[in-house]
Amino acid sequence: MQGAAQTSPDAGAADPTNAAVLREYGFADFASSTYTRDDGRTLKIRAARFADASGAFGAYTFYLQPDMRREQIGDQGASLGQRVLFYRGHIVIDALFSEESPMSGAELRELAGVLPRPGGNAGNLPPILGFMPPRSYVTNTEKYAMGPLALSALAPPVSADLVDFGVRAEVTLGRYSMPSGEATLMLIYYPTPQLAAEHLRRIDASHQRKPGESSIENAGEFYDKRTGPILAIAAGPLSESDAKTLLGRVNYEANVTWNENTSFDPNKDLGTLLVNIVLLCFILGAMAIVAGVAFGGFRILMKRLFPDKVFDRPEQMEFISLHLTETIVQSRPGSGSGAVVQTAQTPPGAR
């Protein structure tokens, strides 16, 4: 049996304490209802819808606790006792069972399967999440912030004013277990590498530190680097070598995607190929005609300007002759080995 559903476009109805944080994540509306079984067990569902999947993921991580157990529900899910938290698409579900049962997870998976997904880019998660290294990651510690209020509530190693959300920055944080201690890795994603470089200089200047020294109280060591449009910051009780190892796992590589279909379809592309061949023949023929006309016109012009000097020769031009002596060797029959040699010389005036 389902109780009366309550809906509201006010973020305060979903969470009076963190209403402003929810609005930063793009809160759209909220609905809640309580379901009662015949045996008296109840299930309270609280659903918050956001503008896109990025906002839903951010809100999910905001409420996620490290001691929760991961669940295969929706896009991501976790549970602690009778409470189950998950998100699918742009909707976050907070379910509270009065009594845990083996069928609880199956019922929520069925619910997640009927939830709508946003279309287009609204269904994509933020790209910065792909740069968080999985190695040494402490489960359920990743947080995603889209505004200063959410970030300030997460106690980051860099303050929200230095991050500068006014330039559309995005932040993700996570805890990592390193040999020298548990450290916080903070990634700040800016629209361009130039903005990232500018904000890195501001962050370093605000700390006024030597390498490895932090001005944040109880933050421990502080290291940072820039890779493309991403600033990576490692803070906490970790050694310099561990910090370099952790930061070295964050590397930005620009990917160029070519969306044009390059496959060959004989039914469509053969005609295009033939048309292009004909056009190429016309172009080459036109170029040959133009070159011929240009060359012929140049010859005519040179003949008129410089007659009998460039391309033509005088009609009575003499040619060089060689005065060679013609030697004829003739053998007479019956004369043995003797031979008569006759020599004829070309007259000097012959040409």
Domain boundaries, the chain: 1-124, 126-255
Give the three-state DSSP class for 3.
coil
Terminal alpha carbon distance of the chain: 128
CB 172 within 8 A of CB 151: no
Token pair of 335, please?
């004369």
Mean pLDDT computed over 161-171: 94
Question: Whole-prediction pTM value?
Answer: 0.68
CA distances from 294 to 262, 285, 287 (A): 40, 14, 10
What value does the mean pLDDT of the chain take? 83
Q: Assess contact for 222 and 214: CB atoms under 8 A.
A: yes
Per-residue pLDDT tens digits for 231-272 = 999 999 889 999 999 999 999 976 555 555 555 555 556 777
- Greater model confidence, 302 or 12: 12
Query: How many whole angstroms separate alpha carbon 48 and alpha carbon 306?
Result: 92
* Domain covering 1-124 in this structure, CATH number: 3.40.1000
Please name the fold of domain 126-255: Protein Transport Mog1p; Chain A (3.40.1000)
194-238 tens-digit pLDDT: 999 999 999 988 876 544 444 444 456 889 999 999 999 999 988
Intrachain domains 1-124 and 126-255 with the same fold: yes
For the beta sheet containing 181-189, the strands, ordered from the edge strand earlier in sequence to the opposite edge, are 143-145, 170-178, 181-189, 230-236, 221-227
